[in-house]
Amino acid sequence: MTTPLLDVRDLTVTINRDGHLITALDKVSFSVNPGEVLGIVGESGAGKSITGAAIIDLLVPPLKRTGGTITLAGERLDRLSPKAMRSVRGGRIGFIFQDPMTSLNPVISIGRQLCDTIEAHLKIGGEKTKRKALEWIERVGLPNPEVQFRRYPHQLSGGMRQRIVIALALCANPALVIADEPTTALDVSVQAHILQLMRDLHRESRASMMLITHDLGVIAKMADRVAVLYAGRVAEISTVGELFNAPKHPYTRGLIRATPMPSADGEVRLDQIPGAMPGLGAVPPGCAFNPRCFKAEGDCRAAIPPLTTEESAAFSCFHPLERETA
């Protein structure tokens, strides 16, 4: 058995709303193996971003981590001081967010930002740092690195900015990269290029990646395994192949069928799941998906199904789907 690089157990995040504690993440568990890309999918509001932010300790009130453990290469991150955690961020864990401007400082040149990250985490200085920064500008595909080095974020296009964010996330040789909707804010034509870049750099660096997206198409292209979140809980974790071919959780199948992707016969099928995901504080008793589920029975309304683990897969359902035989 592989020892995971990142292991998240029973991660719980609550929101304090005028003194009432509302559960936003309810005992979320998953792991990321060395060199693997784990996709995190789910509808808007499922808790994907909160999961990423909780791991790197970037939750801000009213959000608070109230339970669970986060272990990176055997070390408990959830026990680190804020100062120690700051050095993990940008060092052993790189991150890429949807809006490049949240990761870039508008008043510092991109060369200086790269040098600062390299110096802080790799403990090298002087000419070596600058050379490394220039190397990274080139690796992420920007022309004339010396010119780019002196430019400021506002002088770059959105796609170029995201390339620099990717360089910043990777330049300290992280063990793990957390990317939260890295292409969602970009033009469609730029999205494919950025995904390709991420795939190439992932292959070269062998850093593990947690790729958060609502887009199953991105998952199909990039991920090895996938965790499906629903209303702050894990519905299913599986390899990409199993997930698309033989989903176990009815929600997973619903999500796949609601995605415009041509099936084997070339037909584009689109079936929306009836109803909507419950909002915060409105999660029904039992399985959170039960009001929308065609397989729901009494037990689904009575108790939360435990996460049943099988090899590298897991699902939380009392009545999992059978493998369909065509």
- Residues forming contacts to Mg ion in the complex (CB under 5 A) are 48-49
Q: Does 164 bind ligand ATP (CB under 6 A)?
A: no
Q: Which residues of 246-261 are buried (b: 16+ CB within 10 A; e: fewer)?
A: bbbbbbbbbbbeebee
Residue 132 binds which of Mg ion, ligand ATP, none (CB < 5-8 A, kind-dependent): none
DSSP lists the bridge partners of residue 180 as 212
CA distance 108 to 116: 10
Q: Does 44 bind ligand ATP (CB under 6 A)?
A: yes
Q: Which of 214, 225, 233, 253 binds ligand ATP (CB under 6 A)?
A: 214
CB of 218 closer than 8 Å to CB of 98:
no
Contacts of 221 (CB under 8 A, 6+ apart): 195, 199
Residues in the chain, overall count: 326
Q: Give the residue from 266, 302, 291, 316 showing the smallest Cα distance to 29.
A: 316
Q: Which stretch binds ligand ATP (CB under 6 A): 45-53, 89-97, 146-154, 247-255?
A: 45-53
- Closer residue to ligand ATP, CB minimum distance, 60 or 107: 60
Q: Which two tokens stand for residue 237?
A: 């974790």
Q: Does 50 bind ligand ATP (CB under 6 A)?
A: yes
CA separation, residue 326 to residues 245, 246, 264, 276 (Å): 11, 11, 11, 30
CA distance 89 to 58: 10
Q: Smallest gap, in angstroms, from Cβ of residue 24 to ligand ATP?
A: 5
Residue 40 binds which of Mg ion, ligand ATP, none (CB < 5-8 A, kind-dependent): none
Q: Does 202 bind ligand ATP (CB under 6 A)?
A: no
Contact set for ligand ATP, span 236-295 (CB under 6 A): 280
State the binding string over 78-97 for ligand ATP (x if CB under 6 A, else -): --------------------
The 8 Å CB, 24+ separation contacts for 127-132 are: 132/171
Q: Which stretch binds ligand ATP (CB under 6 A): 44-52, 122-130, 203-211, 236-244?
A: 44-52
CB of 94 closer than 8 Å to CB of 170:
yes
Sign of CA dihedral 230, 236, 239, 245: negative
Q: Does 47 bind ligand ATP (CB under 6 A)?
A: yes
Q: Which stretch binds ligand ATP (CB under 6 A): 38-46, 112-120, 170-178, 242-250?
A: 38-46
CA distance 131 to 111: 10
Q: Smallest gap, in angstroms, from Cβ of residue 245 to ligand ATP?
A: 25
Q: Which two tokens stand for residue 154?
A: 């506002």
Q: Does 12 bind ligand ATP (CB under 6 A)?
A: no
Burial (CB < 10 A; 0-12, 13-18, 19+), residue 268, is exposed
- Closer residue to ligand ATP, CB minimum distance, 27 or 48: 48
- Closer residue to ligand ATP, CB minimum distance, 60 or 270: 60
Q: Smallest gap, in angstroms, from Cβ of residue 191 to Mg ion?
A: 16
Q: Smallest gap, in angstroms, from Cβ of residue 280 to ligand ATP?
A: 5
Q: Does 20 bind ligand ATP (CB under 6 A)?
A: no
Residue type, position 278, single letter: P
Residue 46 binds which of ligand ATP, Mg ion, none (CB < 5-8 A, kind-dependent): ligand ATP
Contact set for ligand ATP, span 97-136 (CB under 6 A): none
Which residues would be at the binding site for ligand ATP (CB under 6 A)? 15, 24, 42, 44-50, 62-63, 214, 280
